[in-house]
Structure 1
């Protein structure tokens, strides 16, 4: 639950990094809340709009954590646009190709979202895990 609330504390932070745990816990809790509000009139419209910006910011921060630009979120968009226009014009073969391109973009985003953090700092900030990249964060201090 803390990960869900953490995303709401920085809803407009599109520049730092977020861990896998933060991203996936937010996704899980958001999914469960969406199921709960799905049958409540008006709330089922307001909640998705309210959660849109924090969700996008968290996705961008997750991409930053693996060393990718937030622009990767747009990866499925060209295929989706092609599929939409093709389906509207009843060109179903082209719509299928566009949907396939969108799916490939979605798979790429999924792979990035499950990748481990880039060790140490990168151009988007320090590692949120606290790893310096030299293994020193994993060493235990022995008190004699």
Structure 2
């Protein structure tokens, strides 16, 4: 059974995509949802105060599309915690590294020597770059890996195959 594109757009369930952690979602629907969340996040970034609230609220739909995409690949939704844990732990370590370096080498900050300051915060920048690469790798993995064929424990294949 095939649907023309107008029927597919009409049957697209936005509420399920953004608010439900149940079932599976196709790669194309994942990317649509991800781009909507990204666009909303960019707009929210320009709004003082309310933008922070919107950004926090976007965590739920972002997790929902990620979990359903992992389900579609046959994996547990708990794998969505990987980039979050790496980001939180990495940020704590990086900020601690910068603070510890600043305390241990206070004279570098007093003299405002750019080379000394970069030596203090350089390793933290490397850690932030590593966190970015983990997040990007995770995004590409879930966004480009094909669906598990047939039904799985999370529901029927959304492609109908």
TM-score scaled by structure 1?
A: 0.68
Q: 1:58 aligns with which of 62, 65, 71?
A: 65
Counterpart CA distance in 2 for 1:78 and 1:39 is 26
Using CA pairs under 8 Å that are at least 6 residues apart, name the structure with larger relative contact order, 1 or 2: 2
* Pair 1:101–1:26, CA change in 2 (3 A): closer
Query: 2:140 — aligned with what?
Result: 110
Q: CA deviation at 1:69?
A: 1.1
**1:14–1:57 contact (8 Å) kept in structure 2:** yes
* Pair 1:96–1:67, CA change in 2 (3 A): same
Counterpart CA distance in 2 for 1:84 and 1:99 is 11
Is 2:79 the partner of 1:79?
Answer: no
| Number of residue pairs matched by the alignment | 129
Query: 1:124 — aligned with what?
Result: 154
Greater helix share, structure number: 2
Structure 2 unaligned segments of length 5 or more: list them: 1-8, 99-120
Q: CA deviation at 1:127?
A: 0.3
Counterpart CA distance in 2 for 1:31 and 1:108 is 16
**2:24–2:155 contact (8 Å) kept in structure 1:** yes
Counterpart CA distance in 2 for 1:95 and 1:39 is 25
Counterpart CA distance in 2 for 1:48 and 1:69 is 25
Q: Whose radius of gyration is greater, 1 or 2?
A: 2
Structure 1 unaligned segments of length 5 or more: list them: 132-144
Query: 1:141 — aligned with what?
Result: none
Is 2:76 the partner of 1:46?
Answer: no
CA RMSD of aligned residues (A): 3.0
